[in-house]
Structure 1
Amino acid sequence: MDGFWFFWAMWLVVIAIQFFDESSRKQKWIVTCLLIISTSSIVIPFLTISLRMPLIIFAIISFTYIARLDMKNIFYAYILSTLTAAVFLMVNYFIFFEPVWLYVSPLIMVSFLTLFSNIVFMKNQKKRVAILVSGFVQGEGLLVVLLWHQSHPSFSTFIYGDYIVLDMLGMSLFLVLCWNLIENFVEFIKKKWINGKLGPQHSPGKVNV
């Protein structure tokens, strides 16, 4: 993977924010997305591996958001992000150690499994995104440790947060945001129906005296 799905998903997110986000932080999020896209080619050497910049930015945003929650929500977010990390690590284990058992694209497997785990166990839309990103960051870190512990040949050239990971993360974020939009649309229709604006309009009948 060369980052195609990552760039595609990020540009769609930028378009969605531009046309559908009415909050005061709209411009801030657009600038952040453009920063993530523009730094995708930056690779930073760190000890025996290298770090690709976008995942570092994702990690800072995600962990900053989660750190502002209360202890109960932080603990719950940690459990769900660990679940996401486990899904990510499981699929990547097969990529590096047992590729013969991969019958479905890793991109599809990770994207839909993480989408399912997030929408089932987390109802808050902002927390879904933060937990998803946190899970990928943790999962990639665990993968680095696993490759190092097993002395895998790929470890010497491994790039933390490389395009294959960014593709998975970008597609997963896109699916989660699409689900959030569907939920918002359904809630909008429900409110309109309750208020009688979409219900059947009955004209008052004539009364014969």
Structure 2
Amino acid sequence: MIEALFYWSMWLLIISVYFFDNEIKRRERLTIIGLIIVITSLYSVTFYHFHVNLSFVFLSALVFWYCARQCKLRQFVLMLISFFLAGFYVWIQYLLYIEPVWMYFPPFWMSVAVNSFITIVLLRKILYRCIVVSAAVIGGEIMTSVMLYYFNHVYMFDYVIGQVQSLAIISMAIVIISIWSLFEMVTLELKRRVLLSVPGRSTVSQRKMNA
């Protein structure tokens, strides 16, 4: 079920970008990135005793590359929020694998809801929101594998870092973030049109813009 959600949400994002993004270069770049993530999600590699999804490796490199291009202050803010969300992710995984008796809600939807809500509230740009969600799940997956290794959990030898279930958290959160960002754009446009339609307000707004 969760695997199907990942592929459904990824193809939804790819199709939406390809047909509705007016900037050609960005559209082509995002479409290629989405296709690479979908294709590489089918394969995994082994490093020592850890199994790692190739899509997870690609996404980690992409997030690291983008964050490295930002200024120090923005890096700090993005990483701080990502670290907080990664801690929440590990806490959910701890309840799931170590103390499942305390798990009252589906862990998948809890992670999607918290990641979406926190990034929407704390960040303005959709790209920052997507980067933070991705970085949080990446960090959470790495810390989860360390936690399983520390507790010598029986599932440690079969655990795949960046498995499709964790990628589905990222993709579903990005779908929710995209829908909310579109809603924000529509409301701002409606607000602008309403202000321009009010007699006298358009002149005042134009004067403020010229000032």
With the length of structure 2 as denominator, give the TM-score of the two structures: 0.88
Query: CA separation in 1, counterparts of 2:138 and 2:123?
Result: 18
Task: Count matched residues.
Answer: 198
Per-residue CA distance 1:36-58 (angstroms, 9 max, x = gap):
11111111111101111112222
Query: CA separation in 1, counterparts of 2:151 and 2:75?
Result: 32
The CA deviation at 1:191 is: 2.0
Could you say which residue in structure 2 is the equivalent of 1:64?
65
The structure where helix makes up a greater share of residues is: 2
Per-residue CA distance 1:112-155 (angstroms, 9 max, x = gap):
01111111111122111111101110011111111111111111
Q: Is the 8 A contact 1:147 1:155 kept in 2?
A: yes
Per-residue CA distance 1:42-81 (angstroms, 9 max, x = gap):
1111110111111222212212111111000001111000
Write the mapping of 1:145-184 to structure 2, written as runs, cut at 5 A.
145-184=146-185
- Secondary structure (helix, strand or coil) at the match of 2:46 reads strand
How much identity, in percent, do the aligned residues show? 24
Query: CA separation in 2, counterparts of 1:50 and 1:2?
Result: 20
Query: CA separation in 2, counterparts of 1:15 and 1:192?
Result: 30
1:126 maps to 2:127: yes
Could you say which residue in structure 2 is the equivalent of 1:8?
8
Could you say which residue in structure 2 is the equivalent of 1:206?
none
Letter in 2 for 1:92: Q
With the length of structure 1 as denominator, give the TM-score of the two structures: 0.89
Could you say which residue in structure 1 is the equivalent of 2:92?
91
RMSD: 1.5
**Higher gyration radius (CA):** 1
Query: CA separation in 2, counterparts of 1:31 and 1:124?
Result: 22
Could you say which residue in structure 1 is the equivalent of 2:17?
17
Structure 2 CA distance for partners of 1:182 and 1:38, relative to 1, 3 Å: same
Query: CA separation in 1, counterparts of 2:194 and 2:20?
Result: 22
Query: CA separation in 2, counterparts of 1:58 and 1:129?
Result: 12
- Secondary structure (helix, strand or coil) at the match of 1:25 reads helix
- Secondary structure (helix, strand or coil) at the match of 1:195 reads helix
Moved over 6 A (4+): none
- Secondary structure (helix, strand or coil) at the match of 2:70 reads coil
Could you say which residue in structure 2 is the equivalent of 1:38?
39
Q: Is the 8 A contact 1:63 1:130 kept in 2?
A: no
Gaps of 5+ in 2: 200-211
- Secondary structure (helix, strand or coil) at the match of 2:42 reads coil
Query: CA separation in 2, counterparts of 1:153 and 1:42?
Result: 23
Gaps of 5+ in 1: 201-209
Q: Is the 8 A contact 1:87 1:114 kept in 2?
A: no
Write the mapping of 1:64-83 to structure 2, written as runs, cut at 5 A.
64-83=65-84
Structure 2 CA distance for partners of 1:20 and 1:165, relative to 1, 3 Å: same
The CA deviation at 1:162 is: 0.8
